[in-house]
Amino acid sequence: MTTDTGPLAGLRVLELAGLGPAPHAAMVLADLGADVIRVDRPKGRALELGNPGDDAVLRGRRSIPVDLKEPGGRALVLDLAERADVMIEGLRPGVVERLGVGPRECLERNPRLVFGRITGWGQDGPWARDVGHDINYVGLTGALHAMGRASQPPAPPLNLVGDFGGGSMLLLVGVLAALWERSLSGRGQVVDAAMVDGAALLSQMTLALRGMGEWHDQRQANLLDGGAPFYDTYACADQRYVAVGALEPQFFSALLDGLGIDAREFGKQHDRACWPVMRRRFTATFATRTREEWAARFAGTDACVTPVLTFAEAAGHPQLAARGTYVEVDGVVQAAPAPRFSRTPNAPPAPVDSRALSTEEILARWARGR
């Protein structure tokens, strides 16, 4: 599965099998050209969500089944860590240490290794060893409380904010930063990424607005949480939706033009006293046409009105199709590797290869030397 293309071609990554952000981070590294080997549990995954061979998050790398509770399994992982540039694990704090493949053992064998680890609560603190999932981590940071309608409970943002935005992407930033530092010092280090840290970091603009008195701790009471009627979603005649993001005055003017509404019906755009009347007018007007009719009406304007698409619809949208944002591999629609590079382009994603490598194959591929 190794490739000679992509900006990370030649980088060797060892992934300890897990769920959520760690395999996603390994996928992105593989998309960017790294040679990633996944160390799998002999008896499969802890949470079975369909056939692992169909899981497109596992694209771009091969796996080896290893029982880390056996001395031979630990020895193999340490041998691989000695040859790797990066090692990634997403297990609970203390697990890899108990298994004998923690940072101390791996960095002793390979002082240049970047040891990336991702957890929900972090490696330390009173909750460090407690279980949790994305919704728990996001909930503790304040981010979840801010999402959803005022009259309803907070709305889970899929698992994008904790697992992936605040998890795998934060881990990737840390790993790549450590690789840059290694190019100067010649030494590896441990990267401790926690989803609570990442969710808080993603919330920094909201925290800044709150510090300036421009954000309040009530849902749907602020500029970017659906409180402003010109930054929200609206149902159309066919019960599909459009997204409206007309924040700037010139965009707001284009929105009113497209809706056929006279600006004199309202006061100033950012006068909150006008928002209830404005919202009722927008709601009634958007309900008079279908989503596609509104999409056609606002196409080419500066009103910032776009259709809200399903995953099934997204890949066929002209912009995303032209960009190649989604690709289909063996009948499975999935996100294309990103970002794009002018001189070292990424290879197209290959089908998930569920064949396990033998110990001999992997050691031969990762033979000592550069």
Structure-block tokens of residue 63: 């796996």
Q: For the chain, first and last CA: distance in Å?
A: 19
Q: How far apart are CA 137 and CA 127, in angstroms?
A: 11
Residue 119's SS3 state is: strand
Classify residue 188 by its DSSP letter. -
**What are the two backbone dihedrals, phi and then psi, of residue 306, each rounded to the nearest 5 degrees?**
-135, 155
How far is Cα 26 from Cα 196, in angstroms, rounded to an integer?
A: 20
CA distances from 322 to 209, 305, 314, 326 (A): 36, 20, 12, 10
Amino acid at 246: A
For residue 40, report the phi and psi dihedrals to the nearest 5 degrees: -100, 155
Is 163 catalytic? The answer is: yes
Q: Which two tokens stand for residue 86?
A: 């990066």
Preceding amide of 42 cis, omega within 30? no
Q: Judge whether 40 counts as a catalytic residue.
A: no
Q: Which of 163, 192, 225, 232 is catalytic?
A: 163
Bridge pairing between strands 114-119 and 189-194: parallel
Residue of 54, 55, 79, 133 with catalytic role? 133
- Look at residues 57, 63, 46, 52 and name the one whose alpha carbon lies nearest to residue 21: 57
Point out the residues that are catalytic.
133, 163
